[in-house]
Amino acid sequence: MSAVVVNTLREALRRKQAWVLLIVTGVVMAGASMINVFDLEQQATFAKLTPLLVIPFVAMVLSTFVAARQLPTEIRERTLYPLLAKPIHRWQWLVGKYIGIVLISWLIILVLFAVFQILIWIKGIEVNAFLYQGLFLMLLQIAVYDAMVLLLSLILHADATISLGILIFVGSYLFEKPLWAAIEGAQSLWDRVLLEALYWVVPQFKLFDVTRAIRYNWDPTPLTVLIPFVLYALCLIVVCLALGSLRLQTRDL
């Protein structure tokens, strides 16, 4: 399985597009933040907020393209046949791919985060622990997202996977609040259960966003909140990968 992980990473590195994309976004973002963000009134707050607002979306888009194409490409190019004829379970292959993809996504996030850190440091803005908690949550968020995209890619075509993945991510940011409000104001118990099921089954990526907390200068989230959060993320990942394995196992290749 570790061989699959390493191979996934190696592919990303050798196919130079990944690097090009990463460098281009890094440069663009650095440029943009120099010009706009840092000249605004609430300099410090914005400097701290921007990475947490921008990075998830950039990383999400980049990793969608990595994750959505992995499995379909191996099936289409038939690199899968020689591999799966060897003593490796299909779930091992899936999990190996998943870990590779997550590592790539984390690399993207860390590079982007480092760019921002350097900018913040140049400007001499003070940061609190929250920023790092934000980073941790971003890493968790993308791990959930990658698992979801990988599952979708086993069910849908690559293009549909990309669209739907991005849609769910953005949708979660837009509709988290209204959905929660609807649950609160649900008329019957039945409605409430249904809405709540919807709320928890579709991954709520907005929950991993802590910009609000930073804006209002809340204290860092206590561990008691963070741990259930990690568990929620792990649950989603396990469910996605389990469903993916099941789908892979029962399908003709």
* Nearer to another protein (CB atom), residue 8 or residue 33: 8
Give the C-alpha distances (Å, rounded to integers) separating 179 from 189, 192, 197, 236. 15, 11, 11, 19
* Nearer to another protein (CB atom), residue 4 or residue 22: 4
Distance of closest approach, residue 10 Cβ to another protein, in angstroms: 7
Q: Does 177 bind another protein (CB under 8 A)?
A: no
Distance spanning both ends of the chain, measured CA to CA: 20
What is the C-alpha separation between 145 and 163, in angstroms, rounded?
Answer: 13
Q: Which of 34, 114, 122, 253 binds another protein (CB under 8 A)?
A: 253
* Nearer to another protein (CB atom), residue 18 or residue 60: 18
* Nearer to another protein (CB atom), residue 128 or residue 249: 249
Residues 6+ apart with CB under 8 A from 81: 253
What is the C-alpha separation between 70 and 68, in angstroms, rounded?
Answer: 6
Binding residues for another protein, total number by CB under 8 A = 23
* Nearer to another protein (CB atom), residue 4 or residue 52: 4
Q: Does 157 bind another protein (CB under 8 A)?
A: no
Give the C-alpha distances (Å, rounded to integers) separating 43 from 38, 74, 114. 5, 47, 19
- Candidate ranges 10-18, 121-129, 133-141, 165-173; the one touching another protein (CB under 8 A): 10-18
Query: Considering Cα of 150, then 152, then 153, then 155, what sign does the dihedral take?
Result: positive
Distance of closest approach, residue 18 Cβ to another protein, in angstroms: 12
Distance of closest approach, residue 89 Cβ to another protein, in angstroms: 6
Distance of closest approach, residue 76 Cβ to another protein, in angstroms: 10
* Nearer to another protein (CB atom), residue 182 or residue 246: 246
- Judged by CB under 8 A, the chain residues 39 through 98 that form the site for another protein are 77-79, 81-89
Q: Does 14 bind another protein (CB under 8 A)?
A: yes
Distance of closest approach, residue 85 Cβ to another protein, in angstroms: 4
- The residue ranges of DSSP E strands in 188-243, in sequence order, are none
Tokens of 245: 């394995």
Tokens of 20: 């090009």
CB atoms within 10 A of CB 229: 17
Provide the residue count of the chain.
253
Distance of closest approach, residue 253 Cβ to another protein, in angstroms: 4
Binding site for another protein (CB under 8 A): 2-4, 7, 10-11, 14-15, 77-79, 81-89, 250, 252-253
